[in-house]
Chains A and B, each alone.
Chain A
Amino acid sequence: MKRFSDVTAADGLDLTVNDREYLCLLGPTGAGKTTALRVIAGLTVPDEGKVLFDGREVTHLEPEKRNAVLLSQTYSLFPTMTVAENIMFGPDIRKVPEKDKEQMLFSLLDLVRLTSRADSYPRELSGGMQQRCALARAIATSPDVLLLDEPLRALDARLRIDLRRDLKSLARTLGLTVVHVTHDQDEALVMADRIAIIRAGRIVQVGTPAEVFDEPVSPFVANFVGQSNFFTGTVVHSGPEGSVVEDEAGNRVKARPTDVAVGEKAVLAVKVGHTHLLKLDAAALKGKIERMLFEGRVVHVDVDVAGAGRFSAKIPSSYRGRYQVGDDVGIGWNRNKAKVFPYPEGGLENELKVD
């Protein structure tokens, strides 16, 4: 646990990162992601609790003795040193024999594709190159654990998509254990072996990308990792084949089996990507198309359902001619894709807040 005067940045954080695992710590700004990373690196001492590496307690060990290296958002390259000098700066490397050093530099430059820029200064490099240079410098110290704080945030959106793959395959090639902090759920889905979702200083769920996407533990997770539609009502049926939720307007929708008891107020969550437009007579929910936004591979469709609010769906771009704004459509989903949660105590809006 870590408190900054009144603010609790990390509150009873329990997390195990496995050897050679790529773990993404995902959460909104202010959730305590960076604090958690700094505690692991030894740059911040926790008020309570322990940090262990391979079962060995390192809570009060100095950062340089931990063999964990933190790559900050801003890369912090030395502006007066060349790429090669930056990479070979690490204190551990200075003890390495000259011949081995040269060999090491060659392979690192090759790895991050900066061989032709070895003699350039950081200011002469693009953002992506600076990021790769900082990464090479971090790897040069042969850390057991690589800690990445929003490593792609400063880069252009399109470039980020390409670098996700590069970074992940680099980590895998080198067999590194990585903790990667991000606010970007797409980035986490693509890169992580496991995702830990953090909110208000607490880890709310840890799992593989498929687990946190398909089996969210709360409405917050359901909405934060991939968008979800929500239907608020009362559980009116619950059985082994599934459950049924009914709202005040009398709309009835189906979901998976649930532990929420019949008669309890509940909220059903279903991913926007699992929500389908249906023929009117085949659907439990009916509404009018409010808007359609072209997103490339899919078209985002917002449907206003009287009394139940807005439901969004994604349809393949090739279907876009079948619908237009103003059309009456049905909305539905495979019941196994819909999960029922107890209605959140602080209200749904508060539960879903990401900002």
Chain B
Amino acid sequence: MPVVELKGVSKRFGKVVASSDIDLRIEDGEYVTILGPSGCGKTTLIRMIAGILEPSEGQVLIGGRDMSGIPIEERDIGYVFQNIALFPHLNMLENVSYGPIVKDMSEEDRQTIPVRYLELVNLLDRMKVFPSALSGGEQQKVALARALASGARLLLLDEPLSALDARVRMDLRYELRRITKDLGLTVLHVTHDQEEAMTVSDRIVLMRNGRIVESNTPEMMYRAPKELFTANFIGETNLLAGVVVENRDDRTLVEVRDGTVVEAQPSKFEPGDAVVISVRPERVHALEEGLNAVVRTMSFMGTYIRITAEADSEDILGFDVPVPRGRDFNIGDNVHLGWSMASALLYPRPPGGIAEAVKLE
């Protein structure tokens, strides 16, 4: 079955290294997203798995079989692109029938399979309609049905939702996961959208500069990222520079730039080590005492208010309060910010500076 393995895969375009020594294994039935900023090499990676590009070095294996030299049409994969690519002169049913016909399936399958997949994406009632009469979201659902109707057990999704409106995207990502899980498919989904990755996948592979930064379940990537880049890329976070002053068994004490000592998770750092504290905005609270800060902005976020405050340590911290409590704060107010020890993660201070280490482009 479609286990996908990449072993020491690199891809160079002239002097540009798009993928560098990638090792990755995707299990049968697993939904994996490759996430990363523009230019991180995620599209190159999915194209090598599809057979659109050949690796410069290393091996791509699908179902244990080495894929070198095997063209895309013989890899038995379904592929959905960002730019919806339906045949404009064919109606929906004909579009979805394309795979079964090309694959020379039996007459019965040619009749039943396209109908079944159109039903799966809830568009059976639009089967006689041409692409131009459908919305973007509907077209992308048909593109998915078409990819599935070829009978492939491995589905490659290349930014499948990026061209759609935010609200449509939100609905479709739930659909994507439901459909592929119902069918038990192995899915590799490329995206730059961390929210999308978080809600659809079993596992996220985060890439940067052609390399894998970190790979784990969405929950672990959010709660316990191993890398500073991950902490900032997946969800928002506050980053504060500090120096470890004391390492106790149950917590680490860190002095931030204005001399205030704050608490963080237990760690292996030694007194004197330069570190970065990462703490999520929903974990920061205005308390009786803590980091002294001045409220600079307040934004209504629907069910909560995001406040940003400038601390004496010169760090800008975001924190969230429930909407009714928003009345207790005004721009210019002095606040004291703190968090529970367990909410603050520690990373070694990157030699090139924090901004450089978390840079998005």
Footprint of B on A, CB under 8 Å? 28-29, 126-129, 156-159, 161-162, 165, 169, 183-187, 189-190, 208-210, 213, 224-227, 271, 273-274, 293-297, 300, 314, 316-317, 354-355
Q: How far is the CA of A128 from the CA of B234 in the complex (A)?
A: 19
A163 to B, closest residue via Cβ: B360
Q: How far is the CA of A271 from the CA of B38 in the complex (A)?
A: 33
Q: How far is the CA of A190 from the CA of B168 in the complex (A)?
A: 19
Q: With A183-B165, A271-B303 as given contacts, are A300 and B199 in contact (CB-CB < 8 Å)?
A: yes
30 A–B contacts from the bound complex (CB under 8 Å): A28-B167, A126-B38, A127-B361, A128-B361, A156-B193, A157-B193, A157-B196, A158-B37, A159-B37, A183-B166, A187-B166, A190-B301, A208-B300, A209-B300, A210-B300, A213-B302, A226-B302, A271-B303, A294-B198, A294-B218, A294-B219, A294-B222, A295-B195, A296-B195, A296-B234, A296-B235, A297-B282, A316-B282, A317-B219, A355-B137
Q: Pick the contact of B360 from A159, A190, A296 — CB < 8 Å?
A: A159
B320 to A, closest residue via Cβ: A297
Does B233 lie at the interface of the complex (its beta carbon under 8 Å from any beta carbon of A)?
yes
* A-side contacts of B223, CB under 8 Å: 317
Does B315 lie at the interface of the complex (its beta carbon under 8 Å from any beta carbon of A)?
no
* A-side contacts of B299, CB under 8 Å: 189-190
* B-side contacts of A161, CB under 8 Å: 236
Does B203 lie at the interface of the complex (its beta carbon under 8 Å from any beta carbon of A)?
no
Footprint of A on B, CB under 8 Å? 37-39, 135-138, 164-168, 170-171, 174, 177, 192-196, 198-199, 218-219, 222-223, 233-236, 280-282, 297, 299-303, 306, 308, 320, 323, 360-361
Contact B218 A189 (CB under 8 A): no
B223 to A, closest residue via Cβ: A317
Contact B195 A156 (CB under 8 A): no
Q: How far is the CA of A120 from the CA of B170 in the complex (A)?
A: 37
Q: In whole Å, how far is B110's beta carbon from the nearest beta carbon of chain A?
A: 30
Q: How far is the CA of A271 from the CA of B302 in the complex (A)?
A: 9
Contact B198 A296 (CB under 8 A): yes
Q: With A161-B236, A189-B302 as given contacts, are A295 and B360 in contact (CB-CB < 8 Å)?
A: no
Contact B165 A354 (CB under 8 A): yes
Contact B301 A189 (CB under 8 A): yes
Top 9 A-B pairs ranked by shortest CB distance?
Answer: A273-B303, A157-B193, A126-B361, A184-B166, A355-B137, A355-B135, A183-B165, A156-B192, A296-B235
Most B CB contacts (10 A, CB to CB) among A165, A209, A297, A316 go to A297
Q: How far is the CA of A157 from the CA of B302 in the complex (A)?
A: 19
Q: How far is the CA of A319 from the CA of B283 in the complex (A)?
A: 14
Q: With A296-B222, A300-B199 as given contacts, are A159 and B166 in contact (CB-CB < 8 Å)?
A: no
Q: In whole Å, how far is B263's beta carbon from the nearest beta carbon of chain A?
A: 18
Contact A186 B166 (CB under 8 A): yes
A187 to B, closest residue via Cβ: B166
B140 to A, closest residue via Cβ: A355
Q: Pick the contact of B302 from A184, A273, A293 — CB < 8 Å?
A: A273
Q: In whole Å, how far is B120's beta carbon from the nearest beta carbon of chain A?
A: 17
Q: Pick the contact of B280 from A183, A225, A294, A297 — CB < 8 Å?
A: A297
* B-side contacts of A225, CB under 8 Å: 302
Contact B165 A355 (CB under 8 A): yes
Contact B219 A157 (CB under 8 A): no
Q: How far is the CA of A162 from the CA of B237 in the complex (A)?
A: 11
Q: In whole Å, how far is B215's beta carbon from the nearest beta carbon of chain A?
A: 16
Most B CB contacts (10 A, CB to CB) among A29, A156, A185, A189 go to A156
* A-side contacts of B235, CB under 8 Å: 296-297
Q: How far is the CA of A184 from the CA of B39 in the complex (A)?
A: 24
Q: In whole Å, how far is A120's beta carbon from the nearest beta carbon of chain B?
A: 14
Q: In whole Å, how far is A173's beta carbon from the nearest beta carbon of chain B?
A: 13
Q: With A127-B38, A183-B165, A355-B135 as given contacts, are A156 and B360 in contact (CB-CB < 8 Å)?
A: yes
Q: In whole Å, how far is B78's beta carbon from the nearest beta carbon of chain A?
A: 23
B302 to A, closest residue via Cβ: A226
Q: In whole Å, how far is A203's beta carbon from the nearest beta carbon of chain B?
A: 18
Q: How far is the CA of A156 from the CA of B136 in the complex (A)?
A: 20
* A-side contacts of B302, CB under 8 Å: 189, 213, 225-226, 271, 273
